[in-house]
Amino acid sequence: MKPRFFILLISILASLAVNAQSSRSPYASYTIPSYTDQEVKLRLNQIINAIVPARFDAIVRSYVNTYTVRKRDRTEAMLGRAVMYFPIMEEIMQQKNMPMDLKYLSVVESALDPKATSRSGAAGLWQFMPPTGREKGLKINRFVDERRDPHKSTDAAMRYLKQLFDRYGNWELALAAYNGGPGRVNRAIKRGKSKNFWRIRKYLPRETRNYVPAYIAATYIMQYYQMHNLVPLYPALDLQMTAATKVYQKFTFEQISAITGVSIDRIALLNPSYKKNVLLANQRGNFLILPQNGMLAMHQYLGRPDKPKVYNLLETPIQAPNHNQRLANERGLLPPPPAGDYIKSNYTVRKGDRIEDLAKLFHCTTQNILTWNRLSTVFLHEGQLLYVYLPREKITVKRIESFPSVPALPIAPSVSKKPISTDYKTSYKRYQQRNSRKKQKTKTTLNLKAFAPEQYLFYQIQRRETLVEIADKFHGVTVKDIMQLNNITKKHLPIPGRKLKIKKI
């Protein structure tokens, strides 16, 4: 009888332990999938064009276990934030011809939290220390910390990583130097008499020694999280479908909220680098990120000719995979899109269609199309029906009467400290008179119809301004367009003060 009693007791205790684990886990009705080392190795080897060759050891196993078992809730939150920041990173990496896989380094550094701050004082998505951040051109003062700016910090990180890669010739050592500094890596190379990271890692500090394995684990989890039943905790749709622009004059978050109808909390969440909820005047321009609909109102208020730059989401939580749908609904992760804000459309694949071309056609990413249609491959076949989701354009009613001190034209704040009338004709006439009296050159972006007798948009060149910088201010305009329209040659470049034709209105 005793053996049976003990067997029964053990089975009861085991059952209670399983139930307790289930109650603690957010996956009340879903078990945490088990996996073997061999499965992880196989998946790592299937990653195409990885900048760090697949390598699986005890350190990588530990990080994978942390992501998939020990801290699943943090992993889900981090996966959800990827839709806000990966598109920004990918565009900058493409501009600088850097590997797209480098975006996974921000997972290791900050878990994709721009407000993350370490004990040593490193901050932002890329965890720059204050001296390094300033060295890379990031402004840090009591009003702004550009280490937390997704655009500027990513740009600085890519410039730094390129320097390190050019120095060492492989990404393992470049990543180690990003974490521990070139000095420590150089000493390890000298002691180990090798430029192979895995041979010299024992001469590096523990954190730096484990940094490359941590990157390998982050790459793995970002590509195979579905295999571990992880459900990304996506932010609200208006935080995913965002647009970015540059503003050059002073704006408070309250003024931006009044213009666009976007709440101050939303503005602060999308723009974490501004400590005092204010964008100060800046000749280089400050990045402002807003929901797409809010940006339409902001651009209409500023009177800018260029359209907002849209950062399409990496994955869209409009539809969830079948096996996670019930769980997602229980946890409230995937609410249906607001009625009237999004349009669901379909497209029938034609012969020769590629998913990359369709992504450009619908202004989204290939990952969007894969997620919306639950596709496991990028290959399409003729006659295949695809679903796409597009935001319905909507402009919020502007309440600019509440803030008459905000200029109706994007004129540099140094022109005048007095409030400018929000009436366009009056404010622009006063601006011309004041400019004529003082006989000083000021930086301004001309309104579309300010000089449009021939139905062209004109722009006055500012001091030290290049044609590339001018072209970047206008949507769909290239340097070649400007040169052809104004009969400019490389030998006779225009001088500051000259008005250029930009494009037809």
Q: What is the 3-state secondary structure (H, E, C) of 488-505?
A: CECCECCCCCCEEEEEEC
Q: How many CB atoms lie within 10 A of CB 268?
A: 13
For 67, residues 6+ apart whose C-beta sits below 8 A from its C-beta are 75, 217, 218, 221, 225, 228
Distance separating alpha carbons of residues 410 and 250, to the nearest angstrom: 10
Radius of gyration of the chain (CA): 27
**Residue with token string 């034609």:** 350
Cα–Cα distances (Å) from 403 to 22, 266, 399, in that order, read: 54, 20, 8
Q: What's residue 13's pLDDT?
A: 52
For 61, residues 6+ apart whose C-beta sits below 8 A from its C-beta are 37, 40
Q: What's residue 285's pLDDT?
A: 85
Residues in the chain: 505
Q: 464 by DSSP, 3-state: which?
A: coil
Q: What's residue 337's pLDDT?
A: 45
Q: What's residue 377's pLDDT?
A: 65
Q: What's residue 30's pLDDT?
A: 56
Q: What is the pTM of this model?
A: 0.65
* H or E, element range at 385: strand 385-391
Distance separating alpha carbons of residues 184 and 205, to the nearest angstrom: 8
Q: What's residue 109's pLDDT?
A: 96
Identify the burial level of 181 via C-beta atoms within 10 angstroms of its C-beta, where 0-12 means exposed, 13-18 middle and 19 or more buried.
middle
Q: What's residue 96's pLDDT?
A: 93
**Catalytic residue IDs:** 109
Distance separating alpha carbons of residues 234 and 230, to the nearest angstrom: 12
Residue 8 CA from chain centroid, whole number: 55
Q: What's residue 417's pLDDT?
A: 37
Q: Per residue of the chain (505 residues), what is the pLDDT tens digit?
A: 445 554 555 555 544 544 444 434 444 335 788 999 999 999 999 988 899 998 999 999 999 999 999 999 999 999 888 888 988 898 899 899 999 999 999 999 999 999 999 998 999 999 999 999 999 999 999 999 999 999 999 999 999 999 999 999 999 999 999 999 999 999 999 999 999 999 999 999 999 999 999 999 999 999 898 899 988 887 877 787 788 888 888 899 999 998 888 899 999 999 999 999 999 988 888 899 998 778 888 887 776 544 444 443 333 333 333 334 444 444 434 334 444 455 677 888 988 888 878 877 876 666 567 656 766 567 898 889 998 776 665 444 433 444 444 444 343 333 333 343 334 444 445 545 555 554 444 333 333 333 334 456 777 787 667 787 788 777 677 888 888 888 888 667 777 777 788 876 5
Q: What's residue 5's pLDDT?
A: 52
Contact 32, 72 (CB under 8 A): yes
Tokens linked to 92: 């900058």
For 335, list phi and psi in degrees, rounded to 5: -65, 150
Contact 179, 154 (CB under 8 A): no
Q: What's residue 226's pLDDT?
A: 85
Tokens linked to 121: 């004082």
Residue 193 CA from chain centroid, whole number: 39
